[in-house]
Amino acid sequence: MDPSRTKPATIADVAARAGVSVPTVSRVLTGAAKVSPAKREAVEAAIAALGFRPSAAARVLASRKAQVIAVIAGDTSQYGYAETIRGIEEAARAGDYTVMITVVESTDDDEIDRAIAATLSQPLAGVCVLKFDPPGVAALHRIPPSLPVVALSGVREPGLRQAVLDESRAAEELTDHLLDLGHATVHHVRVPPSRREDGRTTGWRRALKRRGAVVPPLSDASWDPRSGIEIGRRLADDPTVTAVFCGNDEIAMGVIRGIVASGRRVPDDISVAGFDDHPLASLWTPPLTTVDQDFAGLGRRGLQLLLNEIAGETGRRFSSERPQLVVRESTAPPPADAAVRRIV
């Protein structure tokens, strides 16, 4: 009587109630083989009446086919990660897959193995690795080669099935925008890089070199927006700094805060640009010039690639998209005296 004590119906219960054999029930469940309309209806009625839900565990065991996608990420609450995961989940749900999340916080192999052990012992259809930071990159190498894998990141790499957001091209375009405004060079604040050099930094450097501008030393920020404040202060103290490109919008907000605290204005004295087009970027004072990254789309594309591989398709192993430059009010031409100084 107590529903909480009723144990779930099995396929045998359904078969009995519908007056058919167990394999017939299985056939209507999987839709694999033809079943006469009469029996099919009887089975469906029994399923509904019993509230039967097939056990995924038994199913996986018998069919050797899983319906779970594991997502491995270095972080889940950062804007970009959270959005990417949202896109993955959305696409997975549409394809009747379920998403499992595992966070890896370290780059140490043993720690990674420990973190992903519970997940890898699950029956997995495939794995999505968010390769935006060192832990994500390290985790990629610990996935058994027998599992279909797709990497999502900001830089193309050979030999990998991956969906990317072409950050270096976008960063190059953003740097060009600043240079076009008349700045002699552009400083860069880097967020924790995924490799020796991430796409944003690469694009920035490439634009500077192509235009013959000096490549100033990098500043390194953490993921915490407040880490930008001190960097902003330091940059503001250097009178030759007129343009700063930050690795993400949140750091840009911190940097602006630090610059303003030092008594210099944005963009009048110093232009500051971010990256990502965070939901608050347009609300910031001043509204941020940035690059719109479609993270949710990246997640969807990545999952699609993975599903293709799972289906055994030999087609595309790669999907790239170019983020869009969004010019707002935090970037402007350098102040007149800076321009003069440059010419001299």
Partner DNA sequence: CTGAAAGCGCTAACAA
Partner DNA sequence: TTGTTAGCGCTTTCAG
Q: Give the binding site for DNA (CB under 7 A).
A: 7, 10-12, 20-27, 29-30, 32-36, 38-40, 52, 54-55, 58-59, 61-65
Interatomic CA distance for residues 165 and 306, integer angstroms: 16
Of the pair 154, 254, the CB lying nearest a second copy is at: 254
Of the pair 10, 107, the CB lying nearest DNA is at: 10
Residues 115-174 binding a second copy (CB under 8 A) are 115, 117-123, 144-146
The residue type found at 239 is P
Interatomic CA distance for residues 30 and 60, integer angstroms: 12
Closest distance to a second copy from the beta carbon of 111 (Å): 11
Interatomic CA distance for residues 50 and 68, integer angstroms: 25
Q: Which stretch binds a second copy (CB under 8 A): 14-22, 71-79, 269-277, 330-338?
A: 71-79
CA 262 remoteness from chain centre: 35
CA distances from 86 to 200, 270, 310 (A): 23, 35, 21
Of the pair 93, 209, the CB lying nearest a second copy is at: 93
3 state DSSP class of 69:
strand
Retrieve residue 188's tokens: 């860069």
Q: Please, which residues bridge with residue 180 across strands?
A: none
CB 330 within 8 A of CB 267: yes
Give me Rg for the CA atoms of the chain: 26
163 to 202: interface string for a second copy, x by CB under 8 A? ----------------------------------------
Closest distance to a second copy from the beta carbon of 40 (Å): 19
Residue with tokens 């990256």: 275
Interatomic CA distance for residues 243 and 234, integer angstroms: 13
Closest distance to DNA from the beta carbon of 86 (Å): 30
As a whole number of Å, the end-to-end CA separation of the chain is 90
314 counts as binding a second copy under rule CB under 8 A: no
Closest distance to DNA from the beta carbon of 99 (Å): 21
The residue type found at 43 is V
Closest distance to a second copy from the beta carbon of 52 (Å): 10
107 counts as binding a second copy under rule CB under 8 A: no
Instruction: Report the interface residues with a second copy, using CB under 8 A.
Output: 3-8, 51, 53-61, 66-68, 75-77, 79, 82-83, 85-86, 89-90, 93, 96-103, 115, 117-123, 144-146, 224-226, 229, 250, 253-254, 257, 260, 279-280, 282-283, 285
